[in-house]
């Protein structure tokens, strides 16, 4: 194997304790599970490490309890214990402006990451109305095509993966869709946000680009148990040039109102570059 990359998403360090487990115990389990999985060459955190900005106004958020920033808490408490080198992109619950986001995480809201085998271009789907004074779940804006095109021109050889906490394709520009359709080098879009782990199709007008969802370590997106499992997505660059990906679920026990269930360790939602 030439390179092994780990994608974690929707970790939600916050005041809500899902599945009968405290946030602290849940994130502690995440760190231990990742540790047990062996060596990774790169970690990419796909956003929503907190609920610092959110639309439900139920407490625990940055706007209500400033200067309590769970993003800052995550960066200081858990990020140092995860594989290195590491980087992070913002989610719709991290609506910090460019300056504050960099102050907390050390990263821009957009950037380019070149690894041994690929070029990762991080763009910012939820870039609207940053540093808000009102609660919301984020404002989507079409991603920055100039930024993507320049990054690809600066590094013309490697396969490309586009990262955003999410790509809302129904709000995306025709230019972005054409960019996807016309560039075979773009192998896939990587996203979090839905808490799901399936591989989706971005649509005919994108040339059917795959969307690789990166799951969660928090709760089911529909607040129903048994839909979204704790885990992470891996991207593997093999020695023979094959690029493949899957969602890994470590053994987990979930407790909810009506009972409990177990997710056995396994890999699901596979993808291989065509
Ligand atoms: Fe999200």
Domain ranges of the chain: 3-272
The domain made up of 3-272 is a member of CATH 3.60.21.70: yes
What's the CA-to-centroid distance between 108 and ligand 1, angstroms?
A: 18
User: Coil, strand or helix: which one is 45?
Assistant: strand
Q: Positive or negative CA dihedral for 9, 15, 20, 22? A: positive
Distance CA 4, CA 181 (A): 27
Instruction: Say if CB 36 and CB 266 are below 8 A apart.
Output: no
What's the CA-to-centroid distance between 169 and ligand 1, angstroms?
A: 15
What's the CA-to-centroid distance between 2 and ligand 1, angstroms?
A: 31
Residue-by-residue DSSP string for 78-145: TGGGS-SSEEE---TT----HHHHHHHHSS-SSEEEE-SS-EEEE--TT-BS-S-SS--S-B-----H
What's the CA-to-centroid distance between 215 and ligand 1, angstroms?
A: 11
What's the CA-to-centroid distance between 137 and ligand 1, angstroms?
A: 8
Distance CA 67, CA 255 (A): 32
User: CA-CA distances (angstroms) from residue 101 to 3, 9, 104, 112, 178?
Assistant: 29, 17, 5, 16, 30
Residue-by-residue DSSP string for 134-168: S--S-B-----HHHHHHHHHHS-SS-EEEE-S---
Instruction: Say if CB 211 and CB 202 are below 8 A apart.
Output: yes
Distance CA 158, CA 118 (A): 5
What's the CA-to-centroid distance between 189 and ligand 1, angstroms?
A: 16
What's the CA-to-centroid distance between 157 and ligand 1, angstroms?
A: 32
What's the CA-to-centroid distance between 166 and ligand 1, angstroms?
A: 7
pTM of the model: 0.97
What's the CA-to-centroid distance between 253 and ligand 1, angstroms?
A: 23
What's the CA-to-centroid distance between 51 and ligand 1, angstroms?
A: 9
What's the CA-to-centroid distance between 265 and ligand 1, angstroms?
A: 25
What's the CA-to-centroid distance between 207 and ligand 1, angstroms?
A: 25
What's the CA-to-centroid distance between 153 and ligand 1, angstroms?
A: 30
What's the CA-to-centroid distance between 1 and ligand 1, angstroms?
A: 31
CB contact set of 24 (below 8 Å; sequence gap of 6+):
none
Tokens of 204: 């005919």
β-bridge mates for residue 216, sequence order: 230
What's the CA-to-centroid distance between 35 and ligand 1, angstroms?
A: 25
| Angle formed by the axes of helices 98-105 and 70-77, nearest 10° | 30
The tens place of each residue's pLDDT in the chain, 274 residues long, gives 999 999 999 999 999 998 889 999 999 999 999 999 999 999 999 999 999 999 887 778 898 888 899 999 999 999 999 999 999 999 999 999 999 999 999 999 999 999 999 999 999 999 999 999 999 999 999 999 999 999 999 999 999 999 999 999 999 999 999 999 999 999 999 999 999 999 999 999 999 999 999 999 999 866 677 789 999 999 999 999 999 999 999 999 998 877 888 999 999 999 999 7
């Amino acid at each position: 194997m030439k390179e092994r990359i780990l994608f974690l998403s929707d970790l939600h360090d916050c005041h809500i304790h899902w599945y009968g487990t405290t946030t602290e115990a849940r994130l502690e389990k995440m760190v231990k599970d990742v540790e047990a999985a062996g060596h990774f060459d790169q970690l990419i955190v796909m956003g929503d490490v907190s609920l610092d900005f959110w639309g439900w106004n139920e407490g625990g958020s940055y706007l209500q309890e400033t200067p309590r920033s769970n993003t800052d808490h995550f960066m200081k408490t858990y990020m140092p214990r995860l594989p290195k080198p590491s980087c992070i992109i913002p989610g719709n619950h991290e609506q910090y402006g460019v300056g504050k986001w960099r102050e907390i995480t050390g990263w821009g809201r957009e950037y380019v990451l070149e690894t041994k085998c690929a070029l990762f271009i991080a763009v910012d789907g939820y870039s609207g109305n940053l540093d808000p004074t009102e609660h919301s779940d984020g404002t989507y804006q079409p991603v920055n095509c100039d930024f993507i095109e320049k990054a690809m021109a600066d590094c013309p050889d490697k396969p490309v993966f586009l990262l955003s906490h999410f790509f809302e394709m129904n709000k995306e520009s025709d230019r972005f869709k054409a960019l996807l359709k016309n560039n075979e080098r773009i192998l896939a879009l990587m996203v979090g946000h839905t808490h799901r782990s399936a591989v989706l199709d971005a649509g005919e007008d994108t040339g059917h680009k795959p969307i690789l969802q990166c799951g969660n370590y928090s709760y089911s997106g529909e607040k129903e148990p048994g839909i979204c499992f704790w885990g992470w997505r891996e991207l593997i660059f093999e020695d023979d040039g094959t690029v493949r990906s899957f969602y890994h679920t470590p053994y987990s026990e979930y407790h909810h109102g009506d009972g409990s269930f177990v997710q056995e360790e396994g890999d699901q939602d596979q993808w291989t570059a065509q």
